[in-house]
Amino acid sequence: MEITDIVATTVTVPLEATILHSNGAHWGRFVRTIVEVVTDEGISGFGEMGGGGESSEAAFRQLKTYLLGHDPFQLEEMKFKICNPTASLYNNRTQMHAALEFACLDIMGRKLGVPVYKLLGGKVRDRIPFASYLFFRPPNGADSGQEVRTADQLVAHCRALKQRYGFTTHKLKGGVYPPDYELECYRALAAAFPEDRLRYDPNGALSVEDAIRFGQAIEGLRNDYLEDPAWGLNGMRRVRDKVRIPLATNTVIVNFEQLAANILDLAVDVVLLDTTFWGGIRPCIKAAGVCETFQLGIAVHSSGELGIQLATMLHLGAILPNLTFAADAHYHHLTDDILVGGKLKYEGGCIAVPEKPGLGIEVNRDKLAQYAEAYKAQGGYPYDRDPTRPDWFPLIPNDRWADPQG
C-alpha cells in the first residue's frame, strides 16, 4: 500500500459562544485543518490538526515530497522520515505528524476491517466518560443570555450541561477573573453539585503564591486534581509542596524528556495526554505506560477538537487500563461537526467508542466544503487575544484579570 496524495483543508466550525481562557479566547468558532491521506488502493484516511490557513495547507503539501509512496502501515518509519529529532530543531512537525498518524491508523483499520483500538491493544471499556468543560462566556452582543460571568450563571450553565449530557465531573476553565472571584465560583459549583467531581484549570496563569492559596482553599472539595495552577515544572513543584491535591498538567509535560524530568524530580501527579501535542495516539499510549510504571495518573486532554480528533481521543481512552479520570472535550460547545450523521452523541456523560473500521467516523464532504468556505470568508482568529478586551494581553504570572463586574 502506498500514499498517493495528502490533501489539507482548513475549516471553521461555530461554537455556541465565545469562550474565555487565561490567554485569550476562542472567538465563537474553532479553526481546524482536516488532512486526508489517499492511497493507491482507493482507501483514504482522515486526520485533524488545530489552527490552519494557507500556511498549514502548504506545510502538509510540502510533506508529500517525503511521504508519497510511503506505506501507511510503516508508522515508526514515518516518524523518522518527518520528525527526525535533530531536524525538528528547525522544523518541529509534531502536530502535523499527529494528524498524519491519525489518518494512517484510519487507513490501516479500514484496510483490515477493524476499529483503530484493535490495532493498538484492544479496548478495556466501551464508552468514555467526559467532564463538562465550563468556560466563562462574554455577553453575546446585546444578548446577555449566553453570558457566563457570575457564580449563579456558572452554576446554571453547569446544570443545563449536566441535564443535557449527563456530566458528573465538571472542569472550570479559569485564569480569566481574579483568583479570589474564581475561587467563589468554584465553591459555588461544589456546593451546587456535591455528588460530582471537580477540577480547575487556569492554564498556568496564577503566581505560585496565588496557586498555593487557591489550592489550599479547595482542599476539602471533591477535586480530581488542580490543573496547571502555575507555570513550569518548578512552579508546579513549589505548589505541590504546599497543596494536598494532585496536580495535573497538559502544558509542561508534553514529551518524553519532560516526562522523564518529572519522574526524576516530581512536580506533577497526573499527566493529561493530548493526541495532538504528543504527536499521535501511539506516543500517548507509550507515555501512559511510563505513567503506569511510576504510578502517575493520566487523563485524556482536549485541545479543541472536531469529530476526527474526538475519535482519536475515544480510541485512546478505550485502550488505557490506567485511565481513571473523565476525559476533557470542548466538543459539546460546537454547534455542528463535519461528520456524516452530525455530532457524536453523549449518553450519560459518555461517548461510545466507535466500532466501525478505522477511526470509525465518516467525513461529510459537503460539510467539509461548507466549513472550508466559512473559513475562507471569516479567516482565523488570534487565540491569544480576547475580543472583549482589544488592548489586553496577559503576563505570566498574570495580574491583568478581566473585571468580574462586566
- Alpha-carbon distance values, 263 to 230, 271, 273, 300, 369 (Å): 19, 11, 16, 19, 46
Question: Could you give the string, one character per residue 353-372, with x where binding to Mg ion holds by CB under 5 A and - elsewhere?
Answer: --------------------
- Alpha-carbon distance values, 394 to 25, 37, 58, 109, 228 (Å): 12, 39, 31, 44, 16
Beta strand 197-201 with 169-173: parallel, antiparallel or unpaired? parallel
Applying CB under 5 A, the span of 179-187, 201-209, 330-338, 377-385 interacting with Mg ion comes to 201-209
Distance in Å, CB of 23 to Mg ion, minimum: 11
Applying CB under 5 A, the span of 67-75, 84-92, 245-253, 385-393 interacting with Mg ion comes to 245-253
Residue 38: other Cβ atoms inside 10 A: 18
Instruction: Indicate whether 305 belongs to the interface with Mg ion (CB under 5 A).
Output: no
Distance in Å, CB of 226 to Mg ion, minimum: 11
Applying CB under 5 A, the span of 61-69, 187-195, 200-208, 366-374 interacting with Mg ion comes to 200-208
Applying CB under 5 A, the span of 7-15, 107-115, 222-230, 389-397 interacting with Mg ion comes to 222-230
> Which residue among the candidates 21, 171, 301, 367 is catalytic per the annotation?
301
Applying CB under 5 A, the span of 178-186, 199-207, 209-217, 333-341 interacting with Mg ion comes to 199-207
- Residue 9 or 23: the one with the smaller Cβ distance to Mg ion is 23
Q: If we measure between CA atoms, which residue out of 130, 196, 186, 197 comes closest to residue 155?
A: 186
- Residue 157 or 301: the one with the smaller Cβ distance to Mg ion is 301
Distance in Å, CB of 272 to Mg ion, minimum: 6
> Omega into 357 within 30° of 0, i.e. cis?
no
Q: If we measure between CA atoms, which residue out of 240, 198, 232, 178 comes closest to residue 22?
A: 178
Q: Which residue is it, cell 496564577?
A: 206
- Residue 18 or 250: the one with the smaller Cβ distance to Mg ion is 250
Question: Could you give the string, one character per residue 258-297, with x where binding to Mg ion holds by CB under 5 A and - elsewhere?
Answer: ----------------------------------------
Distance in Å, CB of 299 to Mg ion, minimum: 10
- Residue 176 or 353: the one with the smaller Cβ distance to Mg ion is 176
SS3 318: helix
- Residue 208 or 273: the one with the smaller Cβ distance to Mg ion is 273
Distance in Å, CB of 183 to Mg ion, minimum: 18
- Alpha-carbon distance values, 402 to 8, 24, 205, 230 (Å): 37, 11, 13, 18
Distance in Å, CB of 203 to Mg ion, minimum: 6
Residue 280 grid coordinates? 499521535
> How does DSSP assign 102-113, residue by residue?
HHHHHHHHHHHT
> Which residue among the candidates 157, 173, 315, 367 is catalytic per the annotation?
173
- Alpha-carbon distance values, 63 to 3, 47, 137 (Å): 11, 14, 38
Q: Is 301 designated active site?
A: yes
Size of the site for Mg ion (CB under 5 A): 3
Torsion of CA 23, 24, 28, 33, to 10 degrees: -60
Distance in Å, CB of 335 to Mg ion, minimum: 23
Torsion of CA 284, 286, 288, 294, to 10 degrees: -150
Instruction: Indicate whether 201 belongs to the interface with Mg ion (CB under 5 A).
Output: yes
Q: Is 332 designated active site?
A: no
- Residue 182 or 201: the one with the smaller Cβ distance to Mg ion is 201
Instruction: Indicate whether 250 belongs to the interface with Mg ion (CB under 5 A).
Output: yes
Beta strand 24-26 with 19-21: parallel, antiparallel or unpaired? antiparallel
Instruction: Indicate whether 48 belongs to the interface with Mg ion (CB under 5 A).
Output: no
- Annotated catalytic residues are 173, 301
Residues that bind Mg ion (CB under 5 A): 201, 227, 250
